[in-house]
Structure 1
């Protein structure tokens, strides 16, 4: 049983009145019914379970009976902001009066900045909300600009037209030439991993027993047999191991991340790495052994694979993925490097039609189990790997009320991922470094650990 007590002093922008439990339930229902939100299955199972219940005894209280116990981690994940998988609370009244399209574009939200004017792909102009319940900004106006070219962002910063921007790490030397500019470093901002798609050993959801479209055992890293003791599984595992050992993670950290990071054994485990064997022990860089393993698996001349960076604004995400492609090329694997917008790649992950590999950057996790929902058959967004073993272990971890039980299940899942080289391997953790112009003061103490591919905490920025 979960009881949510909602603040009674929160007003929606644009005159849509006080936020009440009706808006909170409506917003969570939108997530649960979504065919795109990465945690819709979790939201439906937790808040709107068939064997559960929910009541709203007053305008500011929501009582949810999940029917079965749930760990606090998937619950808190939906509540946390800024987070890509958060359940953002929006105005039901705006949705009913103005329709979905207007509510999505000109949203009546509850934050310290209100949308004033916007042009898709160009800019968003925000105005400060006076006497905001959390923090009234020190500036009257905030403007976000969409500037794809790094050179143009640097020019804007040098001329004083930009106070800060999402920066590539190799731009640091340029920023340091700006008088009065400083760098704001946020440690443990992003973690990157490599996903092996097509390992879909569970029948497609609502597919009448048929496999997902991306399940193709002709791909060398995919087994035609889900039995982890079978020779076929062992061969596919050998291929995945070779591909992981071919990558020099430390060189990526040193050369592309300029030392602002470290290798990691598994994505989703940033901050919990002491529970895992080290990346140097698990995935030692060994191209000669990688070549030998490919030959042992029957691919002495390599094979062809598609590799796609999930482009979402993390430091050096494309360059690091290109480095992975070069490491694979060095052991004889022909890489089709697919550099496409995230909006092009993501639908293929949701539909389970993508058969290649992806380099994916994610933010900090409340616990490792948080990111594992995307390895479940029930999830919308998919990391491209599902197995009967993880279909058993992951829900058990999600529903572990006792912390010790959840940790034990998480460690069991990690052991399976590492021993079977299943689903993903870790690449690196990277700190985010943002430039701060001479007119504003750093606000690092107010940056929220959530989704740190982008800057947040703008309401706490003050004049220098």
Structure 2
């Protein structure tokens, strides 16, 4: 767990908060969550969004989960053992009920694994080694993986379990896909085994969760209801917190933290999360919209290095991130297994060198390209892209900045309709560098490369990742992964920026909350003042 700093927040104008569609009167045991964005769907398999899946962990559960120290512990499975190099047997928890009263058993596990591993499932990359599953009896399941795969438990922390009967009855056995616009019953309805159940849902307005009084686990919270309200404006969210309209914000605006120390009863838990934010390049044969014809400059490492050297990372850190991000040359945070210190060494900021590299590559006068960014996913993302766009313009490049909400940009990324884009990766649920390597860096093959949006491919990197994926010796496996990360760094295949900051703002009603470096809200661990 990261060390956390407690800060206080100052007051700002409250007029904007009066516009919020929040409940007029809150009960003593109600947590009012002013979320920075809405969840993508009530279906946790609909898109590989950490925020959506972590929110839905209040409703659904996996066979295993992470504890307060990010160590794996039992959840819907009570124990497990290896049967062979390709089979792990799970013993399921008995007496568990879904929110509609149906009993949990092995059929539900098999149906869920079949659904999430479907070729059309956006979350299939979270089970890169999955080969199938077999029911031994009502409370025993064998899960088959590729030989000697070491990370199946890590993967399963984010594979949440559905009720088979509910899926079948509601024609919801097929996966949905936010990026492709494919919806279904599970998009707007939910039925899990978790500590809270969904009682109402108004997309982009409000989702209400009531406590599951029949939860199998011993509650550590004292909440009866969570009212989840997406508030896209940071200023409005802070104003609502200070006025008492909401109790919790999971993305406090960085610019408000230093000057909000005088507000009584307000706290901020601040630190750096595991997520690394970086730029990626489309490596197709030609750019989306450019003056380079049928040639793609980003297939030249000199051009990629030029974009790297044109970024003044210290200015970004100081001005845009308010000094709270952690500059990095690495694709993974230091806490992620596979990280080595050499990865953190950045190429120096050198705009003149950048211009020279462009000239050597044949682009002395620069070129135009499409630069796609979200504006509601990462911390200060739009400001990052605006600042970097200006830096690239100074070396003669012509970035056409395209910013929009993730609901619009996801389609562009998944269909390869970008030249340069932004991505943040926390290596969840694995908490291991194999996550970014197999899902982002690997070529698109089978379950690998699900987030390989730009068609990049390196046979040597693929071979290192494939070898790591079947190496049971932890040190050898991490050595292979470090080599792959170093190879990506040498080739400037991606352009890392920083590990982004996290800042949660808490109102006087919240007595205690658990914050870990994965930046997931776990309100079954939250205690309210009464």
Report the TM range for the smaller structure's normalisation: 0.7 to 0.9
Offset at residue 368 of structure 1 (A): 1.1
Residue 51 of structure 1 is matched in structure 2 by none
Offset at residue 336 of structure 1 (A): 0.7
Say if 1:245 and 1:285, in contact at 8 Å, map to a contact too: yes
Say if 2:512 and 2:528, in contact at 8 Å, map to a contact too: no
Offset at residue 106 of structure 1 (A): 1.6
Residue deviations 1:40-75, cap 9 Å, x none?
A: 156374232xxxxx4322222211232522122xx2
Residue deviations 1:79-137, cap 9 Å, x none?
A: 22xxxxx2221111111123323333221012111101111111001101125233433
Residue number among 459, 462, 468 corresponding to 1:391 in the alignment: 462
Residue 140 of structure 1 is matched in structure 2 by 224
Residue 197 of structure 1 is matched in structure 2 by 282
The structure that is strand-richer by fraction is 2
Say if 1:193 and 1:361, in contact at 8 Å, map to a contact too: yes
The structure that is helix-richer by fraction is 1
Say if 1:90 and 1:109, in contact at 8 Å, map to a contact too: yes
Secondary structure of the structure 1 residue equivalent to 2:279: strand
Residue 380 of structure 2 is matched in structure 1 by 316
Secondary structure of the structure 2 residue equivalent to 1:415: helix
Say if 1:304 and 1:335, in contact at 8 Å, map to a contact too: yes
Q: 1:132 to 1:200 in 2, by over 3 A?
A: farther
1-structure distance, mates of 2:465, 2:381: 28
Say if 1:270 and 1:429, in contact at 8 Å, map to a contact too: no
Q: 1:278 to 1:249 in 2, by over 3 A?
A: farther
Residue 93 of structure 1 is matched in structure 2 by 165
2-structure distance, mates of 1:10, 1:95: 18
**TM-score if structure 2 supplies the norm length?**
0.73
Say if 2:105 and 2:138, in contact at 8 Å, map to a contact too: yes
Residue 296 of structure 2 is matched in structure 1 by 219
Residue number among 337, 340, 346 corresponding to 1:275 in the alignment: 340
**TM-score if structure 1 supplies the norm length?**
0.83
Say if 2:266 and 2:505, in contact at 8 Å, map to a contact too: yes
2-structure distance, mates of 1:96, 1:178: 52
2-structure distance, mates of 1:110, 1:448: 23
Secondary structure of the structure 2 residue equivalent to 1:121: coil
Residues 66-85 of structure 1 correspond to what in structure 2 (within 5 A)? 66-72=145-151, 75-80=152-157
Say if 2:377 and 2:406, in contact at 8 Å, map to a contact too: no
Residues 367-446 of structure 1 correspond to what in structure 2 (within 5 A)? 367-372=432-437, 373-375=439-441, 376-378=443-445, 379-384=449-454, 385-422=456-493, 424-444=494-514
Residue 33 of structure 1 is matched in structure 2 by 118
1-structure distance, mates of 2:368, 2:487: 26
Residue 399 of structure 2 is matched in structure 1 by 335
Q: 1:144 to 1:175 in 2, by over 3 A?
A: farther
Secondary structure of the structure 2 residue equivalent to 1:157: helix
1-structure distance, mates of 2:111, 2:224: 31
Say if 1:24 and 1:89, in contact at 8 Å, map to a contact too: yes
Secondary structure of the structure 2 residue equivalent to 1:386: coil
Say if 1:350 and 1:380, in contact at 8 Å, map to a contact too: no
What runs of 5+ residues in structure 1 fail to find an aligned partner? 49-53, 81-85, 202-215, 223-235
2-structure distance, mates of 1:44, 1:413: 17
Does residue 114 (structure 1) correspond to residue 197 (structure 2)? The answer is yes
Say if 1:33 and 1:44, in contact at 8 Å, map to a contact too: no
2-structure distance, mates of 1:428, 1:139: 35
1-structure distance, mates of 2:354, 2:471: 38
RMSD value over aligned CA atoms?
A: 2.6
Offset at residue 238 of structure 1 (A): 0.6
1-structure distance, mates of 2:343, 2:248: 35
Offset at residue 269 of structure 1 (A): 4.3
Offset at residue 334 of structure 1 (A): 0.8
- With 270-279 and 59-68 compared, the bigger mean Cα shift is at 270-279
Residue deviations 1:137-195, cap 9 Å, x none?
A: 31211100022222321221121011112322113256544321011124334211111
What runs of 5+ residues in structure 2 fail to find an aligned partner? 1-86, 173-183, 287-292
Residue 303 of structure 2 is matched in structure 1 by 239
2-structure distance, mates of 1:345, 1:46: 29
Q: 1:105 to 1:135 in 2, by over 3 A?
A: farther
Say if 1:308 and 1:338, in contact at 8 Å, map to a contact too: yes
Secondary structure of the structure 2 residue equivalent to 1:143: strand
Does residue 64 (structure 1) correspond to residue 143 (structure 2)? The answer is yes
Say if 1:115 and 1:124, in contact at 8 Å, map to a contact too: yes
Q: 1:41 to 1:460 in 2, by over 3 A?
A: closer
